[in-house]
Structure 1
Amino acid sequence: MLPALTLFLLFFALPVGYAVHLSLRRVEVEGLGLGGGAREEVWAGLSNYADALGDPELTAGALRVLGYGLIVVPVMLGLALVFALMLDADRVRGRSFTRLAIFLPYAVPGVIAALLWGFLYLPDVSPFHYLLGELGLPRPDLLDGGPLYLALANIAIWGGTGFNMIVIYTALRAIPAEVHEAARLDGCSQLQTALRVKIPMVAPSLVLTFFFSVIATLQVFSEPTTLKPLTNSVSTVWSPLMKVYQDAFVRSDIHAAAATAVVIAVVTLVLSFGFLRAVGSRTGQEESR
C-alpha cells in the first residue's frame, strides 16, 4: 500500500491542502505596489470564499454549465445505452468494427476534438454550410447565441458516448447466458428482453456512467476555451473552471482562484455524495421488498 499512499499524498492530498491554504490568504499592496515589501501575503480568513460565492460571474457560469449539462448527460447516456444494446443483440454483424468506431472519438484529445468541430462550425470554412447553401437550405451559425450550447454539447457527446457505451456493453456481456435463455423461453422479444431484463441488470453501470458524466460536465473547460477564439459568444468566464483560470493566470489573483476552485470541488463532492446516497437508499428499499 505504500507506493499508492505516497502517490495519493504527493499528487492529491498535498495539492488540495495547498489550494485550501492559498484560499485563506490574500495579498495586501501598499502604495503603487512597487519595490520590496510593497506586497505582503496576509491572512484573509473566509473573505475569499465570501467573494467567490457572491461573484455574479461564477453564478452565471454555473447556470450556463447547468444548461449545457441538461443537454449533454441525457443525450450521451441515452446514445451509449442504445449502442450497447444494439451491439449486444443477436445476429449483429460487424460487432468489433462498430464497437471500435463508436469508441474511437473518445481517444481523440478534447482540444483536438474542439478544434475539429470548431472549424466545421465556422460558416466561412465549413463544408456543411457550403452544402446547405448549394441546396438552398438555411445555414445556422452554431457559434452564435443559443445554438452555442448545442455546438458545445455535440463535442462532448461525440467524444464521451464511446466510453460510456463500452462500460455499459461490458456489463451487458457479463449477464449470464441462462438469463437470456430464460427470457427466450418465456417468449420475450428482443425489445422486451432489453427493457425488462438487460437494462435493470446493468443499472449499476448506468449509475456509474451518470456519475462520471455529471462530474465531467461540472468540469467543462477545454471545449469552450478552444472555441473562444472562433466566436464572441464564449466569454473568458463562460464556465466556472474558466473563471478559475482567468483569476489565476490573467488577473494574477491566485488566492481568489484557489477559493473558487475549492468551492467548485465542494459542490461537486456534495452533489456526487448526495446522488450516491439517494441511489444506495433506493437500492436498499428495493432489496428489502
Structure 2
Amino acid sequence: MTAAVPPQTRRRRRRSIAPYLFSAPAMVLYTVFTVIPVVYALGSSFYAQRRTGGGALGTRSTVFVWFDNYVSVFHDSQLTAGLRHLALYGVIAVPLTLGLALLFALLLDAPGVKLRRFGRTAIFIPYAVPGVVAALMWGFMYLAGTSPFSYVTRSLGWGDIPFLGPNGIYGSLANISVWGGTGFNMLVIYTALRSIPHELIEAARLDGANEIQIALRVKVPLVGPALLLTAIFALLGTLQLYGEPLMLKPLTNTISNTWVPLMSIYQDAFALDDLHDAAAASIVLALGTALVSIAVLALVRISTRRGMR
C-alpha cells in the first residue's frame, strides 16, 4: 500500500509544472511555424531539380547537390544588386529612425512639456497603421499626378519631385519606414528614460548642468540598452524589407521584381518554381541577419568596456 502524497508536495509539483503548461501553446506555435519551416528550408537547400533521361521524354527528379545552391546564390547578380539596394536604403532609414526616436523620447521626457500623453499617442499612431496601407498611402503622395508635394512644386514652376525615380526611391522607401517605425522605437526609449532614478537628474542639476547637458551626458548613456534594442530592431526590419517596394512597384519602373533580396527569393520560389534555390537564399539571408545582430552586440560590448575603463 503506497503512502499518500502530502498536500504540500502536490502543491509544489503543480507549481513546478505550471510554467511549462502556460508556455506550452507558445512553444508549440514557435515549433510549428518557425523551427519546422527552418529545418525544412535547410534540408531543401541541399537538393535541386534535375532533368534525367534526355530529350522531350526526360523526367525531372530531385537530386542531392551538396552546396551547389549556395554557390549559385553567391554568384547571383540579381541578389547582389538587391543587397546593394538594401544597403543604400538602410543607410538612410536606420539612422533617421533611431535619431528621431531618441529625439522625441528626450523631448517628451523633458520637464515642463505640455500635452505629453497626446504627443506620445500622436507619434506612436503611425506604427499601428499596417505596412501595406502605409505604403499605398505614401505611394499616391509620391505619384506625380496625385502628389500634393509635386502640385506645390509645379505651381512654383519647379516641376515634379522625382520621388519614384532611380535616385529618389531610396529616400521615399526610407520615409515610409521612418514614419511607421519611429513611434515604436520612441516608446521603447521613453520607457527606459522614465526608469532613470530621479535623484541622478537632480544631482546633475545641482552640479549646474542644463537640460541639454543632462540629456546628452546622463540620460543617453543610461538608456544604452534600449538604444541597442531599437538598433537591432531597425536592422532586422531593414533586412526584411519587402512589403513597401512591392506596393510601390506598380507605380514606377524603378523597382524590379528582384529589387530587394526577399523579392528575389519570392520570384525564385513562386514565379520560377525553384524552391531549392529560394531555400538556400533564405538560409543565407537568415545567417546574414544573425551575423549583423551579433556584430552590433559585440561592438556595443567593446565600446561599453572601453567607456568603463
TM-score (norm 1): 0.95
Counterpart for residue 262 of structure 2: 241
- Distance in 2 separating the partners of 1:260 and 1:283: 35
CA-atom RMSD in angstroms: 1.5
Superposition deviation, residue 182 in structure 1: 0.8
Local SS of the residue matching 1:191: helix
C-alpha distance 118-33 of structure 1, shift in aligned 2 (>3 A): farther
Matched, 1:81 2:106: no
Give the equivalent residue in structure 1 for 2:8: none
Pairs within 5 Å for 1:33-48: 38-48=59-69
Match of 2:41 in 1: 19
- Relative to structure 1, is the Cα distance of residues 32 and 160 closer, same or farther in structure 2, using a 3 angstrom cutoff? farther
Deviations 1:223-267, CA, capped at 9 Å, x for gaps: 111100100000111101111001011111011100000000011
Instruction: Give 1:33 shift.
Output: 7.0
- Residue 258 of structure 1, aligned match among 269, 279, 290: 279
Contact 1:58–1:243 under 8 Å retained in 2: yes
Structure 2 unaligned blocks of 5 or more: 1-19
Q: How does 1:69-148 map to 2 (within 5 A)?
A: 69-148=90-169
Matched, 1:270 2:291: yes
2:62 alignment partner, SS class: strand
- Structure 1: 5+ residue runs without aligned partners? none
Amino acid of the residue matched to residue 145 of structure 1? P
Q: Displacement, 1:271?
A: 1.5
Residues 56-79 of structure 1: CA deviation (Å, up to 9, x unaligned): 111111011001100001111111
Aligned residues: 286
Offset, 1:219: 1.0
- Assess if the C-alpha contact under 8 Å between 1:33 and 1:39 holds in 2: no
The separation in 1 between residues aligned to 2:111 and 2:144, in whole angstroms, is 43
Deviations 1:18-61 (A, max 9, x none): 00111111112245777xx8221111211000000111111111
1:172-211 equivalence runs, <5 A: 172-211=193-232
Shift of 1:138: 3.7
Partner letter of residue 27 of structure 2? L
Secondary structure at the aligned position of 1:236 is classed as: coil
Is the Cα–Cα contact under 8 Å of residues 68 and 149 in structure 1 kept in the other structure? yes
Aligned to 2:236: 215
- Look up the SS of the partner of 2:164 in the other structure: coil
Instruction: Give the CA deviation at 1:135.
Output: 2.9
Structure 1 residue identity aligned to 2:287: V
Counterpart of 1:165, as a letter, is M
1:24–1:98 CA distance, 2 compared to 1 (3 A): same
Cα contact 2:153–2:161 (8 A) shared by 1 = no
Matched, 1:280 2:301: yes
Identity over the aligned pairs, expressed in percent?
50
